[in-house]
């Protein structure tokens, strides 16, 4: 009995260490704590929406967990950021989960503390498989560096926004539903922007489906010789089936 309990807790420890989470944000020279999924119920000063485990958000095909990997409750605090700044996210992340890294933003239309809608989200950044780099997968470069940079568009109207950063692990993506999404949402108060056009966004709930390109993936087939990986993030409700915004293949409205 004692032995099997010890075995179970070892197995659980191995399981949780096989994942990871965002730890801090460096924004205009200030470091803000994200959220500790194994910390106390109240975490003053954290700018990330709470999440309660460091595993992937499941289910990813529907429901609200995929939005911010928790129950989408507000963060304790917000961070001021100048439009056009680069935010450095730092991660507790040693898992071997090759795949893309993506960034989205949503307008809170007022304080993010009272915003619980599912976007609409606009994708501001994505990196997938880049065969010109010695470490081609974005997730592998994030893992090596322990960090990843996200550039906040300078064309934003001043106001409060959610930044949704996401690692997609494809290590088990050869089976339908095996892809692992690790989203995190932070509260930002943006100022100094030039107020460009806001592109049409998507709802995250429903945007990712089991058999989508980039989600059902035979990882071994993606090599420097065949680097044909499609980063997901489309809307199934927009007609025709379209990406979150125009950064993919169309004019770039937000730079
Ligand atoms: C942040 O946490 C502190 C301490 O628990 C609490 O008093 C405060 O109301 C919280 N603020 C928000 C916006 O959640
Ligand atoms: C990528 O290219 C390889 C080789 O042509 C092919 O076998 C594979 O199915 C392609 N993958 C995708 C997702 O298109
Ligand atoms: Cu994992």
42-82 confidence digits (pLDDT tens): 999 999 999 999 999 999 999 999 999 999 999 999 999 99
Q: Are the CB atoms for 95 and 143 separated by under 8 Å?
A: yes
Averaged over 7-28, what is the pLDDT?
Answer: 70
Q: Dihedral through CA 200, CA 62, CA 109, CA 41, nearest 10? A: -150
CA of 173 from ligand 2 middle (Å) equals 15
Looking at ligand 1, which residue's alpha carbon is closest to its atom 5? Answer: 42
The predicted pLDDT at position 249 comes to 33
The answer to whether the CB of 221 is under 6 A from ligand 2 is yes
Topology of the domain covering 22-254: Coagulation Factor XIII; Chain A, domain 1 (2.70.50)
Residue with CA closest to ligand 2 atom 3? 226
**134 Cα distance to chain centroid:** 23
- The predicted pLDDT at position 200 comes to 76
Distance CA 70, CA 81 (A): 24
Give me the chain's average pLDDT, please. 87
Residue 113 Cα to ligand 2 midpoint, Å, equals 44
165 pLDDT exceeds 80? Answer: yes
Q: Is the pLDDT of residue 213 over 80?
A: yes
Ligand 1 atom closest to 45 (CA) = 1
DSSP-derived 3-state class of residue 107? strand
pLDDT score recorded for residue 2: 43
Model confidence at 235, pLDDT cuts 50, 70, 90, reads: low
Residue 200 and residue 169 in contact, taking contact as beta carbons nearer than 8 Å: no
Q: What confidence tens digit (pLDDT) does each residue in 88-131 have?
A: 999 999 999 999 999 999 999 999 999 999 999 988 888 999 99
Domain coordinates in residue numbering, the chain: 22-254
Distance CA 70, CA 52 (A): 6
Q: Is the pTM of this model over 0.85?
A: yes
Query: Residue 17: its pLDDT value, please?
Result: 53
- Identify the residue whose C-alpha is closest to ligand 2 atom 10: 228
The verdict on the CB of residue 226 being under 6 Å from ligand 2 is yes
């Amino acid at each position: 009995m004692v032995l099997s309990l010890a075995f179970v807790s070892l197995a659980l420890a191995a399981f949780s260490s096989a994942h990871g989470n965002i730890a801090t944000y460096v924004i205009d020279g200030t470091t803000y704590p994200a959220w500790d999924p194994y910390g106390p119920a109240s975490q003053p000063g954290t700018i990330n929406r709470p999440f309660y485990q460091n595993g992937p958000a499941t289910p990813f095909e529907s429901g609200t967990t995929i939005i911010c990997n928790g129950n989408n409750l507000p963060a304790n605090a917000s961070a001021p950021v100048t439009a056009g700044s680069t935010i450095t996210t730092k991660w507790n992340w040693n898992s071997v989960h090759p795949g893309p890294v993506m960034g989205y933003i949503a307008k809170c239309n007022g304080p993010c503390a009272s915003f619980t809608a599912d976007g609409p989200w606009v994708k501001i950044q994505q990196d997938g498989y880049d065969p010109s780099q010695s470490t081609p997968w974005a997730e592998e470069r994030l893992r090596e560096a322990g960090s990843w940079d996200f550039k906040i568009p300078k064309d934003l109207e001043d106001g409060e926004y959610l930044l949704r950063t996401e690692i997609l692990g494809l290590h088990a993506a050869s089976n339908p539903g095996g892809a692992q999404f690790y989203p995190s949402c932070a509260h930002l108060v943006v100022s100094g922007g030039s107020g460009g056009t806001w592109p049409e966004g998507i709802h995250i709930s429903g945007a990712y489906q089991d058999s989508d390109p980039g989600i059902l993936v035979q990882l071994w087939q993606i090599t420097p010789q065949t680097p044909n990986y499609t980063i997901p993030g489309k809307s199934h409700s927009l007609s025709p089936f379209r990406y979150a915004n125009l950064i993919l293949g169309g004019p770039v409205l937000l730079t």
